[in-house]
Amino acid sequence: MKAIKVSYLAMGALVATSFASVPALAESSVPYQTEVVAEGLGFPWNVAFLPDGTILLTELDGRLRVMRDGALDPTPVLGVPPVYRRSQGGLFDVVPHPDFMTNGLIYLSYAHGEPDANATRVARAKFDGAALTDLEVIFEAAPLKATPAHYGGRIAFAPDGTLFLTLGDGFNYREEAQNRANTLGTIVRLNEDGSVPSDNPFVGEEGVRPEIYSYGHRSPQGLFITEDGTVYMNEHGPQGGDEINLVKAGANYGWPIATYGLDYTGARISPFTRYEGVEEPIKYWVPSIAPASLELYTGDLFEAWRGDFLVAGLVPGDVRRVDMEDGQVVGEEILFAEFGSRIRDVRMGPDGALYVLTDGEDGKVIRVTPVD
């Protein structure tokens, strides 16, 4: 564990419309202190908190790790399913069941398969503190793809007990995000056992996968569901066009029909940024920040940030605080740029502290609290 550092370097707010992509401006912000609580992680992807204070960490390289009493257990959790580790593929999310204290279940998302045939899977298993048992695969995206990219993989439980999962378009299959006969480029909604809820928006519609809740997504890696069941997500655009969206049942989010981004060649993907029947983002970025996770701050430690979104950015490497008022974006603040690293995840702990995961072969967990 490293010494606590105090920072006044957060960069500040700007006033913006709900669709603004204007860069954040420098301004004073809430002073905070940081502490590295774990390091030496292999591309950490997600952090989750169990009711007893245990912290779970996933590494893209395929390991599930445990922190107890502020210390990282050197032995990875046993029984984790094999993952397809290539490029963006690997072990993604870990989320405890809402009734974990009773059933001991955790849920994992991960890439499975081989170079010419791989997909995002979700499995659940019992966790006894050291190992996973009774592992059961409850969902696999379809069709299988031949690319190691755009998996999605973010999991969140809704208040009604259903499970939401983000799924990417597979990179080379972007037109499939408009094809509801498969799950590429969608958000799916499942029961806790992987079955399909009877009230999903496309249940009974011929030729449409009943798991689909929304579609027209590119590479969604952020997902947050509020206590009243409102669903938000963020997703990567290509060159520009990263988005935060309010997710509605059955809605089309436009990829690749409408986008604020360009292809990596510089070519236009679509002549449209808006299109009839396509939902508008509540926030977009040009140029890209590569949004990798989404958290809504609801704690007490950073009172000024309560009700705002925190977005982990891989490029150039910071966290964006998106200032929300009455469901509208009114400003943006750049945080933690002084870490000098790609940021994969940011989560609020049970005590209101922030836990920030840096991306890379020597990934870190950094705990952030206000200056006393």
Catalytic positions, please? 150
Q: Give me the residue label for tokens 């008022």.
A: 325
| DSSP character string of 323-367 | EEETTEEEEEEEE-GGG-S-EEEEEE-TTS-EEEEEPSTTEEEEE
CA distance 12 to 334: 6
Is the distance from CB of 64 to CB of 94 less than 8 angstroms? yes
3-class DSSP assignment, residue 50? coil
Alpha carbon distance 120, 114 (integer Å): 12
**Cβ distance 44 to 57 under 8 Å?**
yes
182 within 8 A of 143, measured Cβ to Cβ? yes
Q: Which of 220, 212, 215 is nearest to 237 (CA)?
A: 220
Euclidean distance between the first and final Cα of the chain, in Å?
20
Asked whether 365 and 37 are in contact (CB, 8 A), the reply is yes
Phi and psi at residue 138, to the nearest 5°:
-110, -10
Q: Are the C-beta atoms of residues 177 and 256 closer than 8 Å to each other?
A: yes
**Half-sphere exposure in the Cβ direction for 226 (13 Å, CA):** 13
Torsion angles phi and psi, residue 243, rounded to 5? -140, 150
Would you call 260 helix, strand, or coil by DSSP? coil
Indicate the SS3 state at residue 258: strand
Rounded CA-CA distance 187/111 in Å is 16
Residue 101 CB neighbour total at 10 angstroms: 11
- Yes or no: say if 259 and 237 are a contact pair by the CB < 8 Å rule: yes
